[in-house]
Structure 1
Amino acid sequence: MGSFLSKNEFPVDGRTVLITGGSSGLGLGAARQLAEKGANVIIVGRNESKLQKALTHIKEGAQSLDTQRFFYSVADVTKPLECQRVVSESKLWNHGAPPDVVWCCAGSAHPSLFIDTPLDQFQTMLDSNYLSCVYMAHATLNQWLRPASESAQSTAGETIEKKTRDLRPRHLIFTGSFVSFYSFAGFVPYSPSKAAVRALGDALSQEMNLYSSSSTHPAVRVHTVFPATMPTSGLDDENAVKTDLTKALEEGDQILSPEECARRAIAGLESGQELVPTSTIIRLVMASVLGGSVRGGFWTGLVNTVLGWITAVVMIFIRWDMDSKVAKWGREHGFSGMKKKD
């Protein structure tokens, strides 16, 4: 895994992929590109009209409309029962077989200074970014891992699934952020929820080894993708509440289109990476804080380890520089995080 000599570790041709947040941004970009690779695609979101438009766009990129199938589900994935319903509906639509890949792309951000943040936003961030992943993962893994004796095998579709079971690995993918590894002023409401997503992926990745000896269930690979900043409507919403201070600290941030972010993420998945950075800066910062995370196979792990040694030293100076900028801002502009008006 993770070696440039590896085969494709993420084949999707003929397989079924479910993507939450699939009507826009990274989710839509990934859905379109996976359709181009031959996947059957299910997208999930709250807005039905956006889902319909997105599904049309995804179908336009299909490798073969004669053999591929596409479906959307309107749901609020911050609700556990909604996630269970989505997975159950997807299984029925997919001839009794659960999706082979579930990618949690849904999320939102409210980047504001801590004391200025409405208290309900802290719960919203946890619900939108972390708990949505928990609920979807729980519903999915219960379908993937429960022994056959614990689940109803009564429909014809489920009987067919049992006889023709695909034992290739299934993939559960979470979506983190740069601030999963390193946060800064103005992202306190958001960054803990994304750090929690990274921790969830790390813990589940190890826990899935418990089931690796099963001869009746495919192995489960757990990944977390860390997208770069993308110019989407979500970013516009974020910028509407960001302080000038936070925007200044972000200067130099690499911005990628959702399509390019999706391309890099899929390439990382195909190479077998469990933690998938989509930009150089994210990889460097990630390498400095890997700890006990899976490092991506021998060669990738070796490179990440060496990068981590170097970046760990560099981060000392980056933190000092960021702290100095924030303190200087307070002296020059006050405590609001906004520039003084002339």
Structure 2
Amino acid sequence: MTNSDTRFSGKTVLITGGTSGMGFSTARRFLDEGARVVITGRDRGRLDEAVEDLDGGDRVLAVRGDSADPNDLDTLMARIQETYGRLDVVFANAGVSSFQPIGDVTEAEFDRVDGINFKGVYFTVQKALPLLVDGGAIIVNASWTLHRGLSGSTLYAATKAAVHGLTRALAAELGPRRIRVNSVSPGYIATAMFHDAVSVEDHEGIVANVSAGRFGTSEDVSGAVAFLASDEASYVNGQDLIIDGGLVSSIAA
């Protein structure tokens, strides 16, 4: 049986968007299991707070930057190379929500959301590959909206479909290096981003559609990411793991 305290001992994990929510929870999970963790975020103050809360000492590196900016990504990879010299796991997590009818989507909003949710993921992976060891793992944060239509989510859902398409293609392309590439598709996860996008008045109606009868937690997602990054998932590749309490596949009683 694997000792979960040391499952990732000696390994280096990059988590984009690691200052809160699913990214922060995943950073804590990997630290608890022995990894060195690199987190990114656009706000220096929030990064500093996250580092303090994680309390990982020299096993935590925080790099300020925008995942939608390839120059910032170049700086990030240079810092990782200088500090740790390699990557074993990449969790391309940074993303934003955007929900409105298609007629209300402006070109500026399209560029903003696509820049972070798709372009940012694409170039995070591209620029991380020279540092990622053969036999490493990449996990991309997608969305349950890959699998079930949601009114008002055309822009958001399209970017998340794009990153899962990227996941499948990368799994094929990186096969010769034994790098596994998978995505996770969270359902309604109780993060700050979720609460910003969904009013309290809508909570009861949303939960009524979830067979598990509750919102998910960031820990629900971080556990799945850790599994996909681990040797236990050595034959899982090019897949999307839905973490939604049954929202997509079941009808709540």
Q: TM-score, normalised by structure 1?
A: 0.64
The answer to whether the 8 Å contact 1:13/1:37 transfers is: yes
1:120 paired to 2:104: no
1:19 has 2:9 as partner: no
Q: 1:252 aligns with which of 209, 220, 243?
A: 209
> Is residue 226 of structure 2 the alignment partner of residue 236 of structure 1?
no
Cross-structure match for 2:92: 104
**Alignment pair present for 1:277 and 2:242:** yes
Letter matched to residue 137 of structure 2:
H
Displacement of 1:277 after TM fit?
2.2
C-alpha spacing 1:113/1:281, structure 2 compared with 1 (3 Å): same
Structure 1's 202 and 11: CA in aligned 2 closer, same or farther, altered over 3 A? farther
Retained in 2: the 8 A contact 1:78–1:132? yes
**Corresponding position: 1:173 with 2:148:** no
* Paired residues for 1:1-342 under 5 Å: 11-59=7-55, 62=56, 69-94=59-84, 97-144=85-132, 169-209=135-175, 211-212=176-177, 219-239=178-198, 251-253=208-210, 254-270=214-230, 271-272=232-233, 273-274=236-237, 275-281=240-246, 285=249
Structure 2: runs of 5 or more not aligned: none
CA distance 1:7–1:197, change in 2 (3 Å): farther
Q: Report if the CA contact (8 A) 1:228-1:261 is conserved.
A: no
Deviations 1:223-255 (A, max 9, x none): 211122222221132226xxx8xx967852451
Letter in 1 for 2:68: T
Equivalent position SS for 1:108: coil
Q: Check conservation: 2:22, 2:191, Cα contact below 8 A.
A: no
CA contact (8 A) 1:265 1:276 kept: no
Give the match's secondary structure for 1:100: strand
CA distances 1:7-51 after superposition (whole Å, capped 9, x unpaired): 99x941111111100001100000001100000111000011111
Letter in 2 for 1:233: A
Are the equivalent residues in 1 in contact too, given 2:146–2:161 (CA < 8 A)? yes
Larger radius of gyration: 1
Letter in 2 for 1:117: V
> 1:265 deviation in Å?
3.2
- State the alpha-carbon separation in 1 of the partners of residues 54 and 3 from structure 2: 26
Number of positions where the alignment pairs a residue of Structure 1 with one of Structure 2:
243
Higher helix share: 1
Runs ≥4 in structure 1, deviation > 6 angstroms? 5-8
Q: Distance in 2 between matches of 1:116 and 1:103?
A: 31
SS in 1 for 2:46: helix
User: CA offsets per residue over residues 111-167 of structure 1, 9 Å max, x none?
Assistant: 1111123332122121111111001011011444xxxxxxxxxxxxxxxxxxxxx76
Structure 1: any 5+ residue segments left out of the alignment?
145-165, 213-218, 286-310, 315-342
2-structure distance, mates of 1:103, 1:265:
8
Q: 1:208 to 1:46 in 2, by over 3 A?
A: same
- Equivalent residues of 2:143, 2:185 under 8 A apart: yes
Compute the displacement of 1:80 (Å). 1.3
Q: Give the match for residue 153 of structure 1.
A: none
Q: Is the 8 A contact 2:140 2:183 kept in 1?
A: yes
Q: How many Å apart are 1:53 and its aligned residue?
A: 1.0
| SS in structure 2 at match of 1:225 | strand
Structure 2 Cα separation of the partners of residues 14 and 103 of structure 1: 17
One-letter code aligned to 1:84: D
**Contact kept in structure 2, 1:265 and 1:278, CA below 8 Å:** no
Alpha-carbon spacing, 1:116–1:250, altered in 2? closer, same or farther (3 Å): farther
Aligned counterparts of 1:265 and 1:16: Cα–Cα separation in 2: 14
How large is the Cα RMSD of the aligned pairs? 3.0
